[in-house]
Chains A and B, each alone.
Chain A
Amino acid sequence: EPEVTQTPSHQVTQMGQEVILRCVPISNHLYFYWYRQILGQKVEFLVSFYNNEISEKSEIFDDQFSVERPDGSNFTLKIRSTKLEDSAMYFCASSYLTDTQYFGPGTRLTVL
């Protein structure tokens, strides 16, 4: 069964450093998303991406964040200058159309 994959599973970085989280969505899906979950809190929407552009973003997704689909398979989330409060699980998800979203296993980001 096709699934969303994410790398790395755990990323440790120093405050102020740039990180890139990578995702490979399900191959025939058209919509891609990033969510995050701070430990003990709700899953929060960051951004949705369709047809090579952002279709929606939340207040969390400020100028420090960017997304890119550099090729036909990868979808990346970049955080330019990480802060302590960026420490969270980051989940990539994809959907074929505007329907069910399937989540990847997540990347745990730890900012020191």
Chain B
Amino acid sequence: QKEVEQNSGPLSVPEGAIASLNCTYSDRVSQSFFWYRQYSGKSPELIMSIYSNGDKEDGRFTAQLNKASQYVSLLIRDSQPSDSATYLCAVNTRNAGNMLTFGGGTRLMVKP
């Protein structure tokens, strides 16, 4: 069974600090990886996608992928109170109808 694991948190960081969120996945044939942000009672909102090993930067966000170790991470620089949310890691094995398998999410709290 394909699994995606995340520490549920909460991860508490002070405003302006770097938040580091981690995710591991079990299916080696996974091909694409996504980070979504979910505010309480709302739908997942895409932050970043990553497909190749290494780092991908977009503004204050950096996604890191290591397929050999089967982990993907998200760094949030200069964290803001508005970043407080649950961050969902999602993995796509494209030969399975393009379904996304989600982790349980990490709750991030950014304290002013």
Interface residue B69 (Cβ < 8 Å from any Cβ of A): no
Alpha-carbon gap, A111 to B102, bound state (A): 25
Number of interface residues of A (CB under 8 A): 26
Decide: B49 and A45 in contact? CB cutoff 8 A: no
Contact A100 B98 (CB under 8 A): no
Contact in complex: B44, A43 (CB < 8 Å)? yes
Chain A stretch 79-112: residues in CB contact (< 8 A) with chain B: 89, 91, 95, 98-106
A99 and B44 contact, Cβ closer than 8 Å, known pairs A31-B98, A48-B97, A58-B99: no
Q: Is the CB of A48 within 8 A of B46?
A: no
Q: B96: which of A33, A42, A43, A56 is its contact (CB, 8 Å)?
A: A56
Closest approach, in angstroms, between the C-beta of A50 and any C-beta of chain B? 8
Measured CB to CB, the closest approach of chain A to B44, in angstroms, equals 5
Measured CB to CB, the closest approach of chain B to A55, in angstroms, equals: 4
* Interchain Cβ contacts within 8 Å, total number: 58
| Residues 85-106 (chain B) with a chain A CB within 8 angstroms | 88, 90, 92, 94, 96-105
Interface flag for A18 (CB, 8 Å) = no
Residues of A within 8 A of B25 (CB): none
The 8 Å CB contact of B104, one of A35, A42, A98, is A42
How far is the CB of A68 from the nearest CB of chain B, in Å?
Answer: 17
For B90, list chain A residues within 8 Å (CB). 43
Cβ contact within 8 Å between B43 and A103: yes
- Contact status B99-A48, CB under 8 Å: yes
Q: Is B42 an interface residue (CB 8 A)?
A: yes
In Å, the complex CA distance between A49 and B100 comes to: 13
A102, B97: Cβ atoms closer than 8 Å = no
How far does the alpha carbon of A50 sit from the alpha carbon of B97 in the complex, in Å?
9
B32 closest partner in A (C-beta):
A99
Report chain B residues within 8 Å CB of A105. 42-43
Sample (5) of A-B pairs whose CB atoms are under 8 Å apart = A43-B90, A43-B102, A58-B99, A91-B43, A98-B98
Residues of B near any A CB (own CB < 8 A): 32, 34, 36, 42-46, 49, 88, 90, 92, 94, 96-105
